[in-house]
Chains A and B, each alone.
Chain A
């Protein structure tokens, strides 16, 4: 094997895309889906620690009645950031990590459709997550829960930058998600290996496909809502301001039209992972493959018809409440089909109790429990009792930890050998599973009772008389048990097994899909030769040719799916690999700086209105803006009486805030220009890259 760079000519050559970059620069400029996948996953896991620490802080505060560990304001910031972090910075990007790493391998491709766009998605995600968490440094972390309902989120009621960080941060993250989704949809449609028909796709790839359609359809809705709220806060528009005829309820509809599909965005990829893990460790094909795929699509579609079940207490009226209760209940059908098919996969199998399997089995049990409490919420009559109580908290943690995170952890244990070439330790894995399983159920099962016993969510404190002491203490004990599990998982993953784990080989689990046909970790070009797919679970069929059905073979002749069908042959030019590029990072850095500026321009027009009379007086007196700012500085610093003749302390503070807003706008413009410049240069970049050419001797020795 040797490498031949592509010869480039022209003025823009100096931007030339890196040829097989090494070291740190290699990571910063990478467009390799595997590296980007690792970046996604590692970043998500780091945020998982942050979100977990926030969770422990919340549970410590609630451990006993009348606790005052820290202020109510801090508590509100903690639970808001816990929710925002776990949803947008942990579960979504961790799933995206698997999309990135695994989807091309599972469909027999060498990369995603748009490698640089892929890098751009990651950098937008990283900078967006840093932007939203930078709020902690200003003691202005978002503090209005992850749903951010107006009027509380309007400037009139929240004058700090808390909501500005949240609004802009989520918009930056939204760009990352939508860009990634378009990329994966294209990849799955266009980049499949010959013979990899849609109905031969691994279920994980199918769920990726459905999930990314949900992202593309749901995120624009919330982006509109976020932009409108941002305009309300910064430019004093009145989309949600009831005083000027705006409709706070409109936000709730927009948010949940996004918010409900969002929970399926979180749960469908783990469902896909579980559908991969179960057949491998039961040594049986997935029971009812077409129905598992179809019910995934049905869940995705129905996810758009149920949003108002988050609003049963918002006064929609009897008809709407009844209708949304019924649409919500129907989602139980495809979900039930999935669970039955998973149990059917285990039935008559040979269940191998390895760590990925334990997590997948934990998923099934806990997701089932979450499903039942979901059915109980769908009962709109009693939901008016459950709504916004700990019963809801119990429910969504059962689906998001018990479901999504257990599924993702099954994926980590399952694919870690492929990604690193080393096995995770089975003993520590089993211990971690049981700590997590017991800790999780101890934390969240009692919350059902707390909710039914009247404990609302998002409360900073409660009193003895309310009768919630014992169970809250139990929940807190459970939370710290989970922390032990996380510690075990992380030390094993990032230290012990990464360094000393048993060597994995190509196929440590006796698995079924294409990623296990190549070395662990895979070479940069993934497949030396693009595979020719003959059946569902192709690798399994290869290992057990007696299972090959006659019709599978015929289908592969007819199919010709995927690009390049029918011309798999040795290519004397070698394998063309894209080179690295700085531009995705530069562009997203620019947009993130722009977002930073927008955050600091938050409230601009409200502040201006507040000091309009002072501004008018200054204009009349012929004082220019710079002098006014200097005077304001003096007034605030010295409280000098003669300066206060021109400006009161309040007005002076307003002037300085307005100046900070103007600086924010300047930063936003600079950042925006940098971002657009990044995209422009990106477009001008030469094709670049390099060829990996197989030596003649290698060919002969084959």
Chain B
């Protein structure tokens, strides 16, 4: 027995750890904002009601299996019959009554939670961010602040943020689990949710409505800053690019047709993410890789490896005709990586 435990200890430990460790970067159980917290609390109500029912009904079930098992698991046909009762109306009425009562216990916090998440809090004015989903990246616009960014948004700590979601193509769903539940991006609907972060940090999110080939690679990050840090961030983002001298490769491959780099002539495309301050972001390719020179080079080298079917690959690398056709040398790649990293 001891030996058995010894051999399997690492696996058991791994299971135990994985079973208990539910604080991944997208954990709904680690609520870091009022919306997520309230939703989690309503979840706990349903959870404990379920546990209570399970304890009673499951207990009866288990008791019946042990207590009323036929001797030896099987009896012959002429063995004396057990009780042949057909039911008990009082018990049935009781079950119906009790379950309605339990549903009431779950229903009240549910309705409260729906209304809480679906109503903007009064008092502090919410910051508005317009989110647009593309196959497969996110655009964040701050209409009141004049900031546009891609795949990474920043929000101030302690202030409600009103995310208005819309889509440029198919359905997507906007979800930052540690801050709160999700909202689908449906064409023709102006849907919104409000979220709020309690403390500074990186909050990961991901598209949760199936949106085609690279659905799995449509992630995002929301950074929460203290208010004064946030103001600094806004000022930085509003400025034109720190380096407006785009290298030859940037022009050669017509990056500006799809991407905007404010300050660079001709770089005003709206199809791809705004790159004006791409160097200041912590991730690339819609949150799937950390922002490092190596990762960026890998991404530029063949975008289809990291994100199959993406527009940059299909319209650029696969384009049959000059000048859209992209075929980079190592030198081109290094030049572009260096430039993009410099766009802090």
Contact = CB atoms under 8 A, between A and B. Distances in A.
Interface string B298-310: 0000000000110
Interface in A436-458: 446, 449, 452-458
B203 to A, nearest CB: 11
B77 interface: yes
Contacts of A459: 206, 215-216
Nearest to A471: B18
Contacts of A289: 86-87
Nearest to A72: B308
Contacts of B183: 313, 315, 384
Given A340-B95, A351-B69, A385-B43, A318 B119 contact: yes
A544 B81 contact: yes
Contacts of B308: 71-73
B210 A352 contact: no
Interface of B: 14-15, 17-19, 21-22, 24-29, 36, 38-40, 42-43, 45-47, 49-50, 53-54, 57-58, 60-61, 64-65, 68-71, 73-75, 77, 79, 81-88, 91-92, 95-96, 99-100, 103, 106-107, 109-119, 135, 169-171, 173, 175, 177, 180-184, 186-189, 191, 204, 206-217, 288, 308-309
A700 interface: no
Contacts of B109: 379, 381
Contacts of A343: 57, 60-61, 64
Q: Which 7 pairs across A and B sit closest by C-beta, in order of nearness?
A: A454-B26, A384-B181, A381-B113, A467-B24, A242-B187, A315-B191, A470-B18
Contacts of B103: 329-330, 332-333
Nearest to B69: A351
Contacts of A389: 208
A471 B22 CA distance: 11
Given A248-B186, A452-B22, A452-B28, A380 B110 contact: yes
B182 A453 contact: no
B210 A348 contact: no
A339 interface: yes
B61 A315 contact: no
A417 B170 CA distance: 52
A287 B169 contact: no
Contacts of A372: 50, 53-54
20 contacts: A76-B215, A144-B210, A151-B170, A283-B82, A290-B87, A337-B95, A341-B92, A350-B71, A351-B68, A352-B70, A352-B73, A368-B57, A372-B50, A379-B42, A381-B38, A385-B28, A452-B22, A453-B24, A453-B27, A458-B216
B40 A382 contact: yes
Contacts of A452: 22, 27-29
A264 B110 CA distance: 24
Given A346-B64, A379-B43, A385-B182, A454 B25 contact: yes
Nearest to A376: B46
A354 B199 CA distance: 58
A73 B215 CA distance: 10
A662 interface: no
A488 B337 CA distance: 56
Given A149-B170, A157-B212, A379-B42, 18 more contacts: A284-B82, A287-B86, A291-B87, A315-B186, A321-B114, A337-B95, A341-B87, A349-B82, A352-B73, A354-B74, A368-B61, A380-B110, A381-B42, A381-B110, A384-B182, A452-B27, A474-B18, A547-B84
B171 A151 contact: yes
A458 to B, nearest CB: 4
A376 B65 CA distance: 27
B88 to A, nearest CB: 7
Contacts of B188: 242, 247-249
B57 to A, nearest CB: 6
B61 A449 contact: no
A460 B216 contact: yes
B68 to A, nearest CB: 5
A72 B216 contact: yes
